[in-house]
Amino acid sequence: MFAIIDCNSFYCSCERLFRPNLSNKPVVVLSNNDGCIISRSDEAKSLGIDMGAPLFESRQLLKKHDVAVFSSNYHLYGDLSMRVMDTLRFLSDDATYRCVEVYSVDEAFINLDHLPLNALEDFAVRLRDVVFQWTGIPVSVGIASSKVLSKVANRLSKKNKKKTGCIMVLDDADKVQAALEMTDVSDLWGIGRRYARKLKEEYGINTAWQLKHMPMEWARKNLGGVVGVRMIRELNGEPCIRMKDPLEKKKMIATTRMFGKPVFDLPSLKEAVATFAARAAEKLRRQYGAATGIDVFVVTNGIEGASYEYNPQHHHRYFTMTRSTSDTGELIRIALPLVESLYRNGTKYVKAGVMLTGIVPDDALQGDLFSVAVKNQNRALMQAMDNINFSMRDDMVKYVSSGLTRNWKMRQEMRSKRFTTRWLEVYVVRAG
DNA sequence: TCTGGGGTCCTAGGACCC
DNA sequence: TCTGGGGTCCTAGGACCC
């Protein structure tokens, strides 16, 4: 059996932790650049505020109902996420069973094969209560025989919190049937917009229960090949999506941002790309990796003076290196000519990014037959830089090409303090 | 007039997730 | 005026190999 533990309205719950006066009030958290609404408390949901709604469209509604609005504060959420995950690992004896998979910042799967069926409900209650007691974050727990079914259970547990207490265990066929019958295909984990529409319009399949009874061959043809087959099996309670090894490294690392305001000039664009390359390299070194490919992209949105229209166009350039590297300076040197070659005078740029691919472990750095012995990658320098930036302040030490003014920096006008990760911003209970 | 079979690797692009 | 960021997996098709 699998459990999925999901933090309720995670970002909002984090904000509320330090603003207890907001505990029954509507709260929303915005995406980077204060663009869209990406987390909503229950009270905000019931006001009809949609997930992903652009802020400017919801301003009226937010004001009318006195909704508390926060910019996203990833230092805070990341730290609280760690505490929740640590608690889950502790409660499930992860050191012994190696059974916790952190799936996202606010979700984790736990493999429960070592527990008897009749112990599942109690275990779920314990998870919910102890996590709340130790971290202050409310969670929902769904348990079933496959990951897809556990997601179904989790979702339903939140639908009617009073009745379920945010816990649902699908441990017999009747419960599974009832759950699948009340689940729309579009709410299944793995069925997105496209497939949901196709299923409904072309095949008249509306519920998860209907989908469960479709033949494998049909799924192979019409639902993305092996992915579709897996979906049918999972719906039938047969686990096909394995637990991921927590030691697995990322295969791609990206750092991308919308600009706070549009950029028209090349120097600013280069500054941004250099900054993103530096950030990406930092992430790369954190997993002891080195990259062989770098992809730089910019996003344009019409030309200066043209009337506003949201019609983003991506342009990118790729470069494959003869040997992998994790050196910030080297990556910046490669990235800058790429962005120069992309730049067109008079174009309005709204976003840019750097993606590192072809990631290999950095102890297996492949030498290059045609260049002199590798100069140790400036590794000592990189390490010193990372240490300073980690312990003091992001960007305490940086490359000049990343710029000093940074006019393109994103907007974050309503960010709360980094209560748990910055000494200067620690929560004050009593002054003096 | 006619032109094999079997395989690998890579990239682009689509679909999905939170 | 104004619409996030960071990932994964899969497939098709081209280039190339013997």
Q: Annotate A322-390 with DSSP letters as a single string.
A: EEEE--HHHHHHHHHHHHHHH--TTEEEEEEEEEEES-EEGGGPPP-TTS-S--GGGHHHHHHHHHHHH
Q: What is the CATH number of the domain that holds A328?
A: 3.30.1490.100
Give the 3-state secondary structure percentages of chain A, helix then strand then coil, rounded to 5.
Answer: 45, 20, 35
- Let me know if residue A88 belongs to a domain: yes
Query: Sheet of A167-169: strands edge to edge?
Result: A100-104, A107-111, A2-7, A139-144, A167-169
Last residue of a domain, one of A192, A221, A248: A248
- Boundary of a domain, candidates A169, A198, A229: A169
Q: Are residues A113 and A229 in the same domain?
A: no
From CA A154, how far away is CA A144, in angstroms rounded? 9
With beta carbons less than 8 A apart as the criterion, state whether A322 and A368 touch.
yes
Q: Would you call A139 helix, strand, or coil by DSSP? A: strand
> For A62-82, how does the pLDDT look when each residue is reduced to its tens digit (9 = 90+)?
999 999 999 999 999 999 999
Claim to verify: residue A2 and residue A135 sit in the same structural domain: yes
Which nucleotides of strand B lie within 7 A of protein CB?
11-12, 14-18
- Tell me how far apart the alpha carbons of residues A315 and A312 are, in angstroms, rounded to a whole number: 10
Q: Which residue is nearest to nucleotide C3 (CA to C1')?
A: A54
A315 burial type by CB count under 10 A (0-12 exposed, 13-18 middle, 19+ buried): middle
Measured torsion, CA atoms of residues A300, A354, A335, A337, in degrees rounded to the nearest 10: -10
Domain that holds residue A198: 183-248
CA of A124 to C1' of B16 (A): 28
Q: Are strands A107-111 and A100-104 parallel, antiparallel or unpaired?
A: antiparallel
Rounded CA-CA distance A138/A166 in Å is 9
Q: Do residues A197 and A127 both lie within one domain?
A: no
The answer to whether the predicted template modeling score (pTM) of the entire model surpasses 0.75 is yes
Q: Which nucleotide is nearest to A10 (CA to C1')?
A: B18
Nucleotides of C under 7 A from a protein CB: 1-12
Check residue A41 and give its pLDDT: 96
State the distance between the two ends of chain A, measured CA to CA, in whole angstroms.
52
Co-location of A117 and A206 in the same domain: no
DSSP-derived letter for residue A297 is E
What H or E segment, with its residue span, contains residue A202?
helix A193-203
Whether residue A5 is contained in a domain is answered as: yes
Residue A304's pLDDT is 47
Nearest DNA or RNA nucleotide to A226 (CA to C1') = C10
- CA A371 from chain centre, in angstroms, equals 39
Regarding whether A329 and A239 lie in a shared domain, the answer is no
The answer to whether strand C lies under 7 Å from the CB of residue A303 is: no
Q: Is residue A86 part of a domain?
A: yes
Q: Residues A85, A194: one domain? A: no
Judge whether A153 lies within some domain. Answer: yes
Residue A43 covered by a domain: yes
Is residue A195's beta carbon less than 7 angstroms from any atom in nucleic acid strand B?
A: yes
Q: CA-CA distance, A123 to A100, in Å (whole number)?
A: 14
Residues A226 and A263 in one domain: no
For residue A349, is it within any domain? yes
pLDDT score at A370: 56
Domain's final residue, options A225, A248, A271: A248
Asked if residue A150 and residue A286 are part of one domain, the reply reads no
In the numeric block, which tokens belong to residue A168? 């649902």
Residue A427 Cβ under 7 A from any strand C atom = no
Listed as ranges, residues in chain A with pLDDT below 70 are 302-310, 364-377, 393-394
Q: What are phi and psi of A314, to 5 degrees?
A: -95, 140
CA A332 to chain centre: 25
> Are A294 and A326 members of one domain?
yes
Distance of CA A355 to the CA centre of its chain: 16
A31 touches strand B (CB under 7 A): no
Nearest nucleic acid nucleotide to A410, CA to C1' distance: C4
A375 CB inside 7 Å of strand B: no
Same domain, A295 and A317: yes
Asked if residue A192 and residue A325 are part of one domain, the reply reads no
Asked if A349 and A299 touch (Cβ cutoff 8 Å), the reply is yes
CATH of the domain at A65: 3.30.70.270
For chain A, the domain total comes to 3
CB-strand contact A254/C, under 7 Å: yes
A397 touches strand C (CB under 7 A): no
Which CATH number goes with the domain that contains A222?
1.10.150.20
**Residue A286 CA to C5 C1' — how many Å?**
19
Q: How far is the CA of A302 from the C1' of C6 (A)?
A: 25
Q: Within 7 Å: CB of A262 and strand C? A: yes
Q: Is the CB of A5 less than 7 A from some atom of nucleic acid strand B? A: no
Tokens of A173: 């066929």
Cβ of A53 near strand B (under 7 Å)? The reply is no
Distance of CA A274 to the CA centre of its chain: 23
* β A2-7/A37-40 pair status: unpaired
Query: Of A291, A269, A271, whose CA–CA distance to A280 is shortest?
Result: A291
| A244 and A263 inside one domain | no
Residue A297 CB lies within 7 Å of the nucleic strand B:
no
Give A216-223 contacts, CB < 8 A, sequence gap 24+: A222/A198, A223/A195, A223/A199
Is A409 a member of any domain? Answer: no
Q: Is there a domain that residue A416 lies in? A: no
Helices A120-135 and A74-91: angle between axes, nearest 10 degrees:
140
